[in-house]
Chains A and B, each alone.
Chain A
Amino acid sequence: MSTAAVAHKRPSTLRGARLPSWSPWAIAAGSIAAAIGIGAAAGLHSRVQWGVIAAILFVLATYGIAARVEGRRQAKDRVATSLVWVAFLLAVVPLVSLIWVTVQRGVKVLDVYFLTHSMGVVADSQPGGGIYHAILGSLEQVGLATLIGAPIGVLTAIYLVEYGRGRLAKAVTFFVDVMTGIPSIVAGLFILSLMLMLDMQPFGFAGSLALAILMMPVVVRSTEEMLKLVPNELREASLALGVPKWRTILKVVLPTSIGGITTGIMLAIARIAGETAPVLLLVFGNQFINANPFEGAQASLPLYIYQQYSNSAGANAAYDRAWAASLTLIAFVMILNLVARGIARWKAPR
């Protein structure tokens, strides 16, 4: 028998039956339709329940159909893929809906007037007013916190990665780990206890100190990771040129990792920008513009949102302002993220 005849008789062992590429979409559409049917028939009202039913149907149907047509190994592969997709949607749906709601409600009163005026002459239940004082307070408090927290954090990370050996380094790592877990209200209470000892009234910088405490461990962790990514060969190349270690760190290690370090700092800033608890304790909030972070109560964006919501006795105007302030805060954090990405890309070693 010739080999050609054999090849004719046997199916190829390399190519199996494949589902068409549109099949996942078809299965998804089918399971959603079925879920709506089941949900309506069983009288389930929650959309969440419908979604869960659809997701389960989608995974099961994918496995069943793929196992039929393609075999069990491919079916497992498809189930894994569809689980990843379901997990992705589960993560994205709340995020998108959160941003959607915030934008929808926030744009109502968000305009130039809102951004450039304080609540000085407006009662919480009245329309009008703005968040200028809160933006100013947030920028000053977060800025000062960054000025304190970022350098200490970066220097600590440099110590841990480049110099740290033995007990002291272990102790520092341990305390950084502990600090990472400090609830923000505890950091606020810590500063508050100092303020009470010194008999001080709330002021912006006290909030900055608490925020700096919260920021430091985050900066240490991210900077440490970035420094560890710098190949040891670069350090050795520099040392072998007769460059002292501190200059090697300053001129070779840091420039190589500066993109990642800045990204880490930006993300840490974004994190503390939304902290409410310590600001509530230490900065207190203020209807008026107070540009001096070292004296007198100040406002801040998260605090403003909280107080508009809680002090307004259900007035719609206050709710609108709270949403608009939330939108501003989210926008601020997003811009920081974008800037961080930009810097990381711009500074990435080529």
Chain B
Amino acid sequence: MAKRIDVSGLTAYYGSHKAIEDISMTVEPRSVTAFIGPSGCGKSTFLRTLNRMHEVTPGGRVEGKVLLDDEDLYGAGIDPVSVRREVGMVFQRPNPFPTMSIFDNVAAGLRLNGNYRKAELNDIVEKSLRGANLWNEVKDRLNKPGSGLSGGQQQRLCIARAIAVEPKVLLMDEPCSALDPISTLAIEDLIGELKERFTIVIVTHNMQQAARVSDRTAFFNLAGVGQPGKLIEIDETERIFSNPSVQATEDYISGRFG
């Protein structure tokens, strides 16, 4: 049930500070789109505008449009809580709920929203854990606390938690930056499987990772410190890495930057 995202003229602020300016792009359903760019150019900020998490930050404000299929997420009468059920998110640092067991962590989204049938819960948890390639590792200790897992397992637990509520889109903000290479590989494989069912957007600082997992890549940059970040270009990943149309992109990818 993946959905398309259509962003037009999006500008986001933290109080009076303009963090990103006038971003427009399309994210195709059932594909992986990678965001790359130097630190502070607003990748996380932009990602968080896609599920209305930006406004959770005090002073966070957004102008512009984000269409999910045909509905404007910032339109009048749209409930940000419903938006977040459709557009899930995985964070940079694994953040399982420390008071909950592995099972409860995965079930958290359904339980906390209160819309589930008890009989289904076991199936959904198992399906989500399988979906996150974690089932075999944790099936014997579902009642143990989630914080007892390794970093990579915790991150996959967070992915299982996010997909358990059946979102249409999955946003990932540097999901591997706190993980070792083996766990990173496990998550990259997982992303390849998940794109059959979800629209995936992933922020990464790792060029090889962007090249390995994504279908399309967007390059963000900022003109200088204190300036808002902008989208420089978005294109097929192959083109971005072999023959980008903007010089700055090539400089960044080849490491000849700033």
Contact = CB atoms under 8 A, between A and B. Distances in A.
A350 interface: yes
A111 interface: no
Nearest to A251: B112
Nearest to A252: B97
Nearest to B90: A240
Interface hub of A240, A244, A247, A349 (most chain B Cβ within 10 A): A240
B108 interface: yes
Interface residues of A, number: 22
Classify the secondary structure of A's interface with B.
Answer: helix
A239 B161 CA distance: 12
B147 A349 contact: yes
B91 A243 contact: no
A310 to B, nearest CB: 50
Given A240-B162, A242-B113, A247-B112, A350 B98 contact: yes
A256 B99 CA distance: 6
B164 to A, nearest CB: 9
A233 B145 contact: no
A248 B53 CA distance: 14
Interface residues of B, number: 31
Contacts of A243: 81, 108-109, 112-113
A302 to B, nearest CB: 38
A274 B162 CA distance: 50
A46 B58 CA distance: 61
B81 A234 contact: no
B174 to A, nearest CB: 13
B97 A236 contact: no
A244 B98 contact: no
Contacts of B108: 238, 241, 243
Interface in A191-225: none
A176 B187 CA distance: 48
Interface string B34-56: 00000000000000000101001
B148 interface: yes
A237 interface: yes
Contacts of B96: 237
Contacts of B91: 233, 236-237, 240
Nearest to B109: A241
B29 interface: no
A230 to B, nearest CB: 9
Contact of A350 (B53, B95, B148, B158): B148
When A and B form their complex, which 8 residue pairs have the shortest distance between CB atoms, in order from nearest? A242-B85, A349-B98, A241-B109, A240-B89, A242-B84, A233-B95, A243-B112, A255-B99
Given A239-B53, A241-B109, 13 more contacts: A165-B58, A233-B95, A236-B91, A237-B95, A237-B97, A237-B158, A240-B53, A240-B84, A241-B84, A241-B85, A244-B81, A252-B97, A256-B98
12 contacts: A236-B56, A237-B91, A237-B161, A240-B53, A240-B162, A241-B109, A241-B112, A242-B113, A243-B112, A243-B113, A247-B112, A256-B97
